[in-house]
Amino acid sequence: MTEKTFHINLTCEDRPGIVAAVTTELAGLGANIAESNQFWDRQTNRFFMRIAVTAPEGVERDGLLRALEPAIARFDMKTAIADTARRPKIIIMVSKFDHALLHLLYQIRVGWLDAEVVAIASNHEDSRSTAEMEGIPYHCWKVTKDNKQEQEAKLLDLFKETGADLVILARYMQVLSNDLSNRLYGKVINIHHSFLPSFKGAKPYHQAHERGVKLIGATAHYVTPDLDEGPIIEQETERVTHAMTAEDFVATGRDIESRVLARAVKLHLENRVMMNGHKTVVFG
């Protein structure tokens, strides 16, 4: 007998009986719960649940959804069901710094990330050879203030044509417009350096070095119209010292950025991230 695995994400107003209602319907279908995570946000009284289930042969996504309909209607749930047999399709965007791109491609190659890269897009030619070596279509779109809207339209068309599920900004040094951010809300992940205090503009690691920063880090978040203020998925910091050079800071930053972005992408691809207003619920 061939079983299929599904991820079921549910959210609704919290009240008694939610877990019992969902698990009863799944049991009636003959599905087995392989993993279950839940969270009650007391401030908003929202309930979040992620279940990984194995379903008997012949049970597909639509069958699961029909089985859960009584519980969904009873509790007014927002529901998402993902078939793990389908590999998510991703578009990676990059500018000149390719460390985060290369790390993502490596983690996909060794199977730690389960995804299909359907395209690499950039505003520079620097990563074309990498794309060609990996057999991935490469799109170079030079971006200026005069053609930004046109280039974003190309990205949106590419997203639709490839059936992509996610866009990853792997150190893509262009700000997405409010319109595109809204259209792809929850489907674009960005990585950026994260300092206290925050250093903006050119050479942030050099600025940090000049100010004697003791911690540097990175933040992976969903892109929203509020620049670098979207719901956070993953973060990491690392201690640095006065004995390190600015170049040491840069090297440490590259390493952290690559790791944090890859972890955030993995959490998203495994449907472990749920939106909770301006925040996220992340089931590790």
Annotated active-site positions, please?
228
Six-digit token string for 176: 């997405």
Q: Distance between CA 37 and CA 283 in Å, rounded?
A: 7
Amino acid at site 126: D
CA–chain centroid gap for 255, Å, is 18
Cis peptide before 197 (omega within 30 of 0): yes
Handedness of CA 187, 193, 195, 197 (dihedral sign): negative
- The length of the chain is 284
73 membership: H or E segment, kind and range: helix 61-75
CA–chain centroid gap for 168, Å, is 7
Q: Distance between CA 124 and CA 172 in Å, rounded?
A: 10
169 membership: H or E segment, kind and range: strand 166-169
